[in-house]
Amino acid sequence: MWGGLQPVSGYRLYHHTDLRLFLGLYPFGVLVLIELMGLVKSFGELQVLGGVDLSISEGKTVAIIGESGCGKSVLLKIIIGLLKPDSGSVLLDGQDITKIKYKELVEIRKRFGMVFQGSALFDSLTVDENVGLGLRRHTRISEEEIRKKIGWCLSHVGLEGVEDKYPAQLSGGMKKRVAFARAIAMDPQFLLYDEPNTGLDPITPPEGYTNLLIT
Amino acid sequence: MGGAEANQLKGKAQGTSGPLSHIAMNPISFIGKEVIKFSFHLGRMVKLLWEILKAVPDFRTYSKPLAKQMLVIGNRSLTIIFFISILAGMTVSVQTAYNLKSYAPLYFLGSTMEKTIFLEFGPLLAAFILVGKVGATIAAELGTMRVTEQIDALESLAFNPVSYLILPRVVAGMIMVPVLTIFADAVGITAGWLTSIAKTNVTTRQFFYGFKSVYQTFDLSFGLIKAVFFGLTITFVSCYEGYYARQGAEGVGRAATSQWLSPLSSY
Ligand SMILES: Nc1ncnc2c1ncn2[C@@H]1O[C@H](COP(=O)(O)OP(=O)(O)OP(=O)(O)O)[C@@H](O)[C@H]1O
Ligand SMILES: [Mg+2]
């Protein structure tokens, strides 16, 4: 089922050369940003991923479809380094993020935004604090700017005036949309979106992201 | 796990019921399993402790939650520590007075009060309340965050969960238990003093003469050092249980009522 998802896998050879780093480009003008190679992941006896190859190019939206329990969420967690694959690699800018130090991994995660399947909002924080958590920690922009940004992110998903509510006061779809707002708050280069359909209203991601949508 | 349960079931079926039957059946494998389990937990705890130490420079991440956790601990325990300290002070005073009667001068009341409250009761009460009121909450809180993927979400936002979740709770415990200990000391001694002058013939002057005659800075500082370690162990073990919670809501419950927390609470 992963077979159809390797648009440029024929150029795998280039990953092992420095040429790619000089040019940053593949032949035919496709810039591959994330490349998964032979990912294998098992939980005990259960093999969830059996050698996944996938290339994600700049500005492309890739959707991965599969039956329930086939390992889509696991794949996303491996891409962002929350789970370690048993073998295989996740290449980002030619760097294998499954093998780098924790500090570097944290830096790389700043380029990602992830919407979890179950939203995973922090239930001790308000919507405002949830969306602004990354901004307040990782940037030095003023509180006023941060509030503006939070407002922008929330209005993007059609939510207004919920800043001071706690996640428990929101509906499931609203939670999912707040989670989306949280994921785009830091202007990530990549957006990983687990089950985009459960947000009820279709949400259009802002322009210019490399998206990885998971259904 | 499954094996042990199966063993127990088998034991029941054969009429040799009781939780110890499988130990008798195969003591060596039982001891081996326990040793492996123990070393596994010990190793993971040491690793977590090391990660907490490494997170210390990450002040920007933990400053806010640290303040919050200190307030939480204070809010949860202040009232109950107040009442229990009064009880402790009164009890020590009444019991000591009863035992001293006609054997020793009554100013010994002050001396006993100083030693028992500063060295033992103060830190112990504060720690007790922390286990009961805060320890289980921490384990349940972090356990819930683990199973609802909030800890994963935190990591996806480029946070170090140890800096953001664990370090503030552990440090808040290490700061707040001594603070609460001083509070318990003050309340306990005041209650003991008031009870003494109300219930016995001792005067305030005599009471504090006895108090001062045995007072050493060591008493207070040793009590506080104890308190720091109580704060560290209680919050650390609670965090450990919650942080590594697994398997849904059941795992959260198991974390919150874990075997590690109960022996501590009986100290
Ligand atoms: N932490 C884990 N420990 C053990 N098994 C796991 C773990 N996480 C996932 N699994 C197993 O891996 C498989 C894939 O899980 P995953 O969550 O990726 O499915 P999914 O494709 O996202 O399904 P759905 O569409 O229902 O969300 C499942 O069979 C699940 O039981
Ligand atoms: Mg899933």
- Domain ranges (residues) in chain A: 1-109
Q: Kindly state the average pLDDT of the residues B240-248.
A: 80
Regarding whether B220 and B123 lie in a shared domain, the answer is yes
What pTM was computed for the model?
0.81
Regarding whether B203 and B107 lie in a shared domain, the answer is yes
The closest CB to that of A106, out of B144, B148, B160, belongs to B160
Distance CA(B173)–CA(B140), nearest Å, equals 16
pLDDT band at B41 (very low <50, low <70, confident <90, very high): confident
Q: Inter-chain contact B157–A186, Cβ cutoff 8 Å? A: yes
pLDDT band at A164 (very low <50, low <70, confident <90, very high): very high
Regarding whether B212 and B130 lie in a shared domain, the answer is yes
Q: Kindly state the average pLDDT of the residues A115-122.
A: 92
Residue that wins the pLDDT comparison between B219 and A27: B219
Evaluate if residue A173 carries a pLDDT over 80. Answer: yes
Q: Is A106 on the interface with B (CB under 8 A)?
A: yes
> For B89-129, what is each residue's pLDDT tens digit?
999 888 888 888 777 777 788 888 888 888 888 888 888 88
Q: Is A116 on the interface with B (CB under 8 A)?
A: yes
Strands A112-115 and A190-194: parallel
B141: nearest CA partner in chain A: A124
In terms of average pLDDT, the best of A59-63, B5-9, B65-69 is B65-69
Q: Inter-chain contact A122–B150, Cβ cutoff 8 Å? A: yes
Distance CA(B14)–CA(A48), nearest Å, equals 40
Q: What is the pLDDT of residue A62?
A: 83
Chain A: give the shortest CA distance to residue B146, in Å.
Answer: 10
Place of tokens 């500082």: B221
Q: Kindly state the average pLDDT of the residues B244-256.
A: 65
Place of tokens 């996740």: A90
Regarding whether B143 and B103 lie in a shared domain, the answer is yes
Distance CA(A87)–CA(A102), nearest Å, equals 18
The closest CB to that of A106, out of B148, B152, B158, belongs to B158
Tell me what percent of the residues of chain A surpass a pLDDT of 90: 40
How many domains would you assign to chain B?
Answer: 2
Evaluate if residue A61 carries a pLDDT over 90. Answer: no
> Of B55, B74, B91, which residue sits at a domain end?
B55
In terms of average pLDDT, the best of A31-35, A45-49, A164-168, B6-10 is A164-168
Task: Identify all chain A residues contacting B148, using CB atoms and an 8 Å cutoff.
Answer: 118, 120, 123
> Of B12, B36, B55, which residue sits at a domain end?
B55
Q: Which residues contact A76 (CB under 8 A, 6 or more apart)?
A: A114, A192, A194, A212, A214
pLDDT band at B55 (very low <50, low <70, confident <90, very high): very high
Q: Inter-chain contact B153–A186, Cβ cutoff 8 Å? A: no
Q: Inter-chain contact A116–B153, Cβ cutoff 8 Å? A: yes
Evaluate if residue A67 carries a pLDDT over 50. Answer: yes
* Complex confidence, ipTM: 0.81
Distance CA(B127)–CA(B178), nearest Å, equals 9
Q: Are B129 and B80 in contact (CB under 8 A)?
A: yes
> For A184-198, what is each residue's pLDDT tens digit?
999 888 888 887 776
Q: What is the pLDDT of residue B217?
A: 85
Regarding whether B140 and B119 lie in a shared domain, the answer is yes
Q: Are A205 and A211 in contact (CB under 8 A)?
A: yes
Tokens of A80: 């962002």
pLDDT band at A202 (very low <50, low <70, confident <90, very high): low
> For B176-192, what is each residue's pLDDT tens digit?
999 999 999 999 999 99
Q: Is A140 on the interface with B (CB under 8 A)?
A: no
Q: Are B180 and B129 in contact (CB under 8 A)?
A: yes
Q: Which residues contact A144 (CB under 8 A, 6 or more apart)?
A: none
Q: What is the pLDDT of residue B11?
A: 39
Q: What is the pLDDT of residue A198?
A: 66
Q: What is the pLDDT of residue B250?
A: 60
Tokens of B169: 């709770």
> Of B55, B75, B97, which residue sits at a domain end?
B55
**Domain carrying residue B9:** 1-55
Tell me if residue A118 falls in helix, strand or coil: coil
Q: What is the pLDDT of residue A133?
A: 94
Q: What is the pLDDT of residue B204?
A: 87
Q: Judged by CB atoms within 8 Å, which residues 95-154 of B form the interface with A?
A: 141, 144-145, 148-150, 152-154
pLDDT band at A201 (very low <50, low <70, confident <90, very high): low
pLDDT band at A88 (very low <50, low <70, confident <90, very high): very high
Q: Kindly state the average pLDDT of the residues A52-72.
A: 83
Regarding whether B70 and B25 lie in a shared domain, the answer is no
Regarding whether B34 and B145 lie in a shared domain, the answer is no
pLDDT band at A7 (very low <50, low <70, confident <90, very high): very low
Distance CA(A215)–CA(B256), nearest Å, equals 35
B204 alpha carbon – ligand 2 mean position (Å): 71
> Looking at domain A1-109, what is its CATH homologous superfamily?
P-loop containing nucleotide triphosphate hydrolases (3.40.50.300)
Q: Kindly state the average pLDDT of the residues A110-127.
A: 92
Q: What is the pLDDT of residue B20?
A: 62
Q: What is the pLDDT of residue A160?
A: 87
Regarding whether B135 and B219 lie in a shared domain, the answer is yes
Distance CA(B213)–CA(B234), nearest Å, equals 34
